[in-house]
Amino acid sequence: MSTPRRSHGREPQAVGEILARYLRTSGIREKLRSPEVYDCWPEVAGAEAGRHSRVVGFSNCVLHVEVDSAPWLHILSSFKKRELLDGLRGVLQGTRVRDIKFRIGARGGWPVEFSERDPCPKHSNPPTTQETSRSSPA
């Protein structure tokens, strides 16, 4: 009877070790711990911003959000970030959100209804800085 060959010269590992390593590196542990952070984004962001952004991660008290364009990245990170943080803190109980990091997402990663919707003249462009400042109370 011969000894089975090991591929790649690695020693066998326990399934628990493999799973623990996957949970550490994938970011899924944070998602499982704090699903409400993902669920409340559309409510906190609002209908318009919610159509142009989505939560893609939450780790070390930092929410990671993808947006669909550079103008929306600028608006959310420059003009709306404080308001969004305050909204998240008001809605979430027991989950601390210290910061929000925005980035432009790859079109291929967006849900179909997001990436392939018909352009709507009213919603295809983000509001200008003047429109944003007029609509928010001073």
In a domain, 25, yes or no: no
Q: Give Rg (Cα) of the chain.
A: 20
Residue at 32: amino acid letter: L
pLDDT tens string, the chain, 138 residues long: the values are 566 555 566 788 888 888 777 766 765 555 555 678 888 999 999 999 999 999 998 888 899 999 999 999 999 999 999 999 999 999 887 788 999 999 998 654 444 344 333 333 333 444 444 444 444 444
In a domain, 92, yes or no: yes
In a domain, 7, yes or no: no
CATH code, domain carrying 117: 3.30.300.180
The partner residues of 100 in beta bridges, in order of sequence, read 63
Pairing of strands 62-67, 99-104: parallel
The pTM of this model reads 0.56
- Total domains, the chain: 1
The span from the CA of 123 to the CA of 120, in Å, is 5
Range of the domain at 52: 34-135
In a domain, 58, yes or no: yes
Contact 66, 54 (CB under 8 A): yes
The span from the CA of 82 to the CA of 76, in Å, is 9
In a domain, 20, yes or no: no
